[in-house]
A and B are shown apart, each in its own frame.
Chain A
Amino acid sequence: MYQNNHINVRNLNVHFDNNHVLKNINVEIPDKKITAIIGSSGCGKTTFLKCMNRLIDSVDGVKITGELLVDGENIFDPKTDVTLIRKKMGLLSQRPYPLPMSIYDNVAYGPRIHGEKSRKKLDHIVEYYLKEASLWEEVKDRLKTPAARLSIGQQQRLCLARGLAVEPEIILGDEPTSALDPQSSQNIEQKFLELKDKYTIIMVTHILRQAKRIADYLIFIHLGEIIEHGPAKEILENPKEKKTKEYISGIIS
């Protein structure tokens, strides 16, 4: 169905020491759509997300088997340059983590790391992506102030701008609205809907209503296994598996 997908997962297994956290994951993630990974807490959905940009590497005692193909390349191949994989993906974490530097430097961080030195180009990049994240108007007069002084909702949009500035193809969101107030959450959701024309978006969420509002495609994980995946509408209206039904109706949460 999705022949040339960015992301293709085949027989992915993740162990933490003796814990089998992800069991035999097989899924293809559609391009230029919002895919929501849902499931109860501790089911492995964040682990799954962390596999995609290999942040899982920094966890102690982790063992991974299987393949996760990004543009046809297995990212767990020892020959893969992990920084290039990560450059393809922007990450929004549960809480925004602005880097300990100014607003400007936060957005310019990625481009600088990848070799951009021209002040003029960086100025342009910073302005462009702050606008893209709808933050420009609020911060354009204080780009030199520390990013930590922004409100938490603004910080999350700054993190979005920072992630977009490395020109990724994929956006990963790990419950990106869970620490935000309703208005800021809505901002981020709105942003995702606008961005999905250009990017493949994968987000973990524990808010079913959020998945209903914005997801095109759903992956339901329970105790480390994918129970069901498919177009969001189909799964929400007509779940095939009993577990999915129970989750959607709120029996398991």
Chain B
Amino acid sequence: MLLNKIIREKINSKLMLTFTILSCLLVVLIFFGLYYKSSPLFTNNSIKDLLFSSEWFPLKGKFGLLPFISSTIWVTLISVIIAIPFSLLTAIYLTEYADKRFVRMINPLIDILAGLPSVIFGIWGVIMIVPFIKNHIAPALGISSGGYCLLAGGIVLAVMILPVIIHVVSEVFRAIPQDLKNASLSLGATQWQTIKYVVIRKSMPGIIAAIVLGLSRAFGETLAVLMVVGNVVKMPHSVFDPAYPLPALIANNYGEMLSIPLYDSALMFSALILFVIVLIFNVISRIILVRIERSLGIG
């Protein structure tokens, strides 16, 4: 009996180890898979041309991905710039000011927002945001825009990543000990001063982690963005220009354009770039995090 138990325990732990290694290995496998599939592209195009040229003529074998890369980066940056103030202020209100009952009512709503399928955000963008930009925002600034543009993508994406950031930041704020806040309050600081100088400072690593989480989701979000962003292969020059982010490129064309030579390699390479961008962001944020923790003496 006992031996049986020990053996079972051993098998279980080995099994868990195997699964853990498998899922870690998957990341590596995906990376090399993408690299392998995109490698035919490198015989005719230099990496430099692929990344920094905006000449996208697949029929002539020219695959300059710069318009897609810059679209991805712009749409993500716009969404984060919009989402940060909204989510920080919401999280501050919910954790520091709001009545507990109100918070209990609001939290499920935020959860629902987080769980909505992205196609719903896409439709909302098409019927609300796109016309609003076309008819109100752009004319107010004296610009003509069809509404399908970087800004529309950014706004839709911002709403999608809001719940994630609100949740994580709220958790971080709730973890600040009341006694630390009391230390500031007892010196005659107002609640807002306490939040500004103590709560936010102390939470900085967590806030950055939340933003990175939002960023990672924003980089990869495909459907909602491609519905409102215009999908025109051109370097965007203003937020009212249409754009064509990497995920949209892949989703729109995979399976359809594969008769063109090297097209599938180009799509694989786009996926690889997306992969690497997210990876780089994660690494950079890790480094920033460690720096901040050290400078605050928290780490």
Chain B neighbourhood of A145, CB < 8 A: 297
CB < 8 Å: which of B100, B179, B183, B297 contacts A146? Answer: B297
Beta-carbon contact of A110 and B188 below 8 Å: yes
Task: Give the complex CA separation of A80 and B193 in angstroms.
Answer: 19
Q: Secondary structure of the B side of the interface?
A: helix
Beta-carbon contact of B187 and A166 below 8 Å: yes
Residues of A within 8 A of B (CB): 53, 55, 58, 60, 83-84, 86-87, 89-91, 93-95, 97-101, 109-110, 113-114, 145-149, 159, 162-163, 166, 172
Beta-carbon contact of A100 and B297 below 8 Å: yes
Does residue B167 face the partner (Cβ distance < 8 Å to A)?
no
With both beta carbons as reference points, the residue of chain A lying nearest to B178 in the complex is identified as: A58
Chain B neighbourhood of A100, CB < 8 A: 198, 201-202, 296-298
Task: Give the complex CA separation of A84 and B190 in angstroms.
Answer: 10
Beta-carbon contact of B297 and A58 below 8 Å: no
Does residue B259 face the partner (Cβ distance < 8 Å to A)?
no
Task: Give the complex CA separation of A83 and B179 in angstroms.
Answer: 17
Does residue B118 face the partner (Cβ distance < 8 Å to A)?
no
Beta-carbon contact of A97 and B297 below 8 Å: no
Q: How far is the CB of A85 from chain B (nearest CB, A)?
A: 8
Q: How far is the CB of B101 from chain A (nearest CB, A)?
A: 11
Task: Give the complex CA separation of A37 and B197 in angstroms.
Answer: 32
Within 8 A of A (CB), among B66-122: 100
Residues of B within 8 A of A (CB): 100, 177-190, 193, 197-198, 201-202, 295-298
Beta-carbon contact of A159 and B183 below 8 Å: yes
Beta-carbon contact of A90 and B186 below 8 Å: yes
Chain A neighbourhood of B180, CB < 8 A: 97, 99
CB < 8 Å: which of A83, A93, A101 contacts B188? Answer: A83
With A53-B186, A86-B187, A97-B177 known, 12 other A-B pairs at CB within 8 A are A58-B182, A84-B188, A90-B186, A100-B201, A100-B297, A101-B197, A113-B193, A146-B295, A148-B297, A149-B297, A163-B187, A166-B188
Task: Give the complex CA separation of A94 and B182 in angstroms.
Answer: 12
Q: How far is the CB of A204 from chain B (nearest CB, A)?
A: 14
Task: Give the complex CA separation of A97 and B202 in angstroms.
Answer: 12
